[in-house]
Amino acid sequence: MKTRSLTVTLTLTVAAAALLASAAQAQTTVAEPWVRGTVAQQKASGMFAKITSAAGGTLVAASSPVAGVVEIHEMAMEGTLMKMRALPKGLALPAGQTVELKPGGYHVMLMDLKQELKDGQTVPVTLVIEAKDGKRETVEVMAPVRPLGAAGMQQHQHGMMK
Amino acid sequence: MQRRRLIGGLAALVLAGCERAQDTAFHALDITGADYAQDFRLQDPDGRTRTLADFRGRAVLVFFGFTQCPDVCPTALARAAEVMQLLGDDARRLQVIFVTVDPERDTPELLRAYTAAFHPSFLGLHADLETTAATAKAFKVFYRKVPTGSSYTMDHTALSYTYDPQGRLRLAVRHESPAAEVAADIARLLAEAPAARS
């Protein structure tokens, strides 16, 4: 009886520890999200952020109520030619490393926009991160809209203050 | 000392800290004398036909892009807006032009609202598909549609061409060039102009 209860306790402890570990592993944090504002009739924009996956994984999908289609894109300069592509296998998030989605690199592309994205609004975006074991985690991001005309680079943020 | 004042306080300020460029070369690629990108004939959002001659007396910065572009185009236009700020009073002697390579989606109204989001003086120009293709070719600008999802995006050349106030093609500005360098180059072109006119 005593042995049995000990076994149960141990099992529970191990299970709880495993649960905690998996929760910690699955933990993906998203910092400084923002979406570039649009003008009426403009049907596409991009979301940028700093994403860190503690255990590593892949950003495989995203969705947003403001957009009909959301894709993970990479922008790259080939000489003077700008190329933009959807990442077919998603965006790799190496364990513990912060991957920055920023102008000139990766972005979450918001297409078929259902509304104009105005300065001061907040855009909800759901990110789907797949762990190495195939388990999927969703992260809800609330991304503030930055004015379309604002420079995207950090050092220019002072110019956006009102 | 006096010579330096002639260049203008701002140009000197922008150029300071970059000794290399003080008296020698432009930051951007100097393409003076090139035989392409000589002129365009495109529509403004009011339906008027515009050519390079309309902007004589001003430096002109021309960029080809499309408004559904989340990254390169707003970055280039935000840089152009920053250049306007850096130029101060000289900004009225610069015309920034955005030529769409996506006239199917970039309507005149959209172009007007889009360029105004960066600076009220910026001008968005468009044409029919055939003229757009011919203009891009004449400017050595490459573009193509790339299907994505249910829609499409576009690959395109991300250079900005700079003309002097006489309407001569002078510089090709790389996408990566910072606003301070672009402003310094344009200040130089503007400082040349009064001498060339007399």
Nearest CA in chain B to A102: B71
- The residue that leads in pLDDT, A2 or A112, is A112
Instruction: Spell out the residues 6+ positions from residue A36 whose beta carbon is closer than 8 angstroms to its own.
Output: A45, A46, A48, A117, A145, A146, A148, A152, B70, B74
Q: Measure CA of the first residue to CA of the last residue in chain A; give whole Å.
A: 70
pLDDT of residue B197 exceeding 60, the answer is no
Nearest CA in chain A to B143: A81
The average pLDDT across B91-109 equals 97
Q: Enumerate the residues of chain B whose CB falls inside 8 A of the CB of residue A77.
A: 158, 175-176
The average pLDDT across A6-34 equals 61
CA B127, B131, B135, B137 torsion-angle sign: positive
- The residue that leads in pLDDT, B23 or B64, is B64
The average pLDDT across A11-28 equals 52
The average pLDDT across A68-77 equals 92
Tokens, residue B124: 């968005």
Q: Enumerate the residues of chain B whose CB falls inside 8 A of the CB of residue A156.
A: 78, 82
Q: What is the ipTM of this complex?
A: 0.77
* pTM score of the predicted model: 0.81
The average pLDDT across B120-140 equals 97
Tokens, residue A13: 């402890």
Q: Enumerate the residues of chain A whose CB falls inside 8 A of the CB of residue B148.
A: 71, 73, 85-86, 109, 111
pLDDT of residue B195 exceeding 50, the answer is no
Whether A77 and B175 lie within 8 Å, measured CB to CB: yes
Q: Does B70 touch chain A (CB under 8 A)?
A: yes
Tokens, residue B57: 């007396």
Whether B158 and A80 lie within 8 Å, measured CB to CB: yes
Q: For the segment B13-25, what is each residue's pLDDT rounded down to a tens digit?
A: 454 444 444 456 8
pLDDT of residue A160 exceeding 70, the answer is no
Q: For the segment A91-124, what is each residue's pLDDT rounded down to a tens digit?
A: 999 999 999 999 889 999 999 999 999 999 999 9
A82-86, B2-6, B117-121, B182-186: the lowest-pLDDT one: B2-6
